[in-house]
Amino acid sequence: MLPLGRALAALLALPLVAPVAARAQSASNEVWPELDVLWRTSQRFRTVLEVAMQTEREGERREATVGLNEDLLRLPAGYARVGFRYTFSTRDASYRESRAVGEFVFRPWATEALRLLNRTRGELRWINREYSYRVRDRLHLQRVPQDSSGRAWAPYGTFEVYYDSRFRSIAKLGGRVGTELRIVGPASIDLYIARQHDTRPSERRVNALGVTTKLSY
C-alpha cells in the first residue's frame, strides 16, 4: 500500500505530468461507456451487475467486460466485495479473460466536506487460459454532497497502482478526475477523464472520457 503522502502528491501531479508525457509518446484517445445496476437485497448486502466497454483495457484491441459482484455493507469503516468478471475482445477471439475479484474499501480520513477512501483489490486472472494475479491499490478523494435530496454533485480524483505477477513489478498506473451526479429517482451518472499508463509489457498511454450510468434499487 502506498504511503498516504506520496499517493496524494502523485494524484495532484498526474494532470500536470500526463500532457507532457503524452507529447513525448503517442497516446490513444477513447470513450469508455459503462452501465452499473445496483440492487440492495438487504441492509447488509448489495448485488452489482456491470457491463462496460474498454474500461482499463489490457491491449491494442476493443474489449467488453461483464461482471457480477456481491457487496458486504455496513462494516466498521467501509465495505467488502467479491465478484467475477469476464473480459473479451469484441472483434475477434484474440483475448479472453476470466477474473475472480476480492476487495476491501475503507475510509482512513473524512470531514463533513471531504472523504478519503482506500481500495485494495486482489484479482485472480486467467488470460487466454494462463493464470496470473494482480494487486491494485487506489486512493479516492471526494467531496461529500451536503444535499441529501434532489441533484447533488460529488467531484473526485483517484490515483491507482497495479502490481502484476506476470512481470513481478508495478505494471500500470492510472488516475481519474470526475464527478458523480444524481439525476432523478434511481439514476445517477459518473462522468470522468481517465489517464492510463502501462509500463509492461510495453509502454502505452491511454486518455479516455468515461461515462458510467448507475441504476440503484
pLDDT of amino acid 15: 45
Q: State percent of the chain over pLDDT 90.
A: 70
What cell numbers appear for 178 in the block?
A: 470526475
Q: In angstroms, rounded to a whole number, what is the distance separating the alpha carbons of residues 91 and 123?
A: 25
pLDDT of amino acid 93: 83
> Given a cut of 70, is residue 175 above it in pLDDT?
yes
pLDDT of amino acid 141: 98
Helix (H) / strand (E) element for 120: namely strand 114-127
Q: In angstroms, rounded to a whole number, what is the distance separating the alpha carbons of residues 146 and 186?
A: 18
Structural domains in the chain, sorted by start: 4-216 (2.40.160)
Q: Taking residues 69-97, what's their average pLDDT?
A: 93
Residue 111 burial (C-beta neighbours within 10 Å; 0-12, 13-18, 19+) = exposed
pLDDT band at residue 7 using 50, 70 and 90 as cut-offs: very low
> Given a cut of 80, is residue 22 above it in pLDDT?
no
- Cα 53 to chain center, whole Å? 13
Return the C-alpha torsion angle 9, 11, 12, 14, nearest 10: 120
**Number of Cβ within a 10 Å radius of residue 201:** 11
pLDDT of amino acid 80: 98
pLDDT of amino acid 174: 97
pLDDT of amino acid 4: 42
Instruction: For 68-107, give the DSSP string.
Output: EEEEEEEETTEEEEEEEEEEEESSSSS-EEEEEEEEEEEE
pLDDT band at residue 57 using 50, 70 and 90 as cut-offs: low
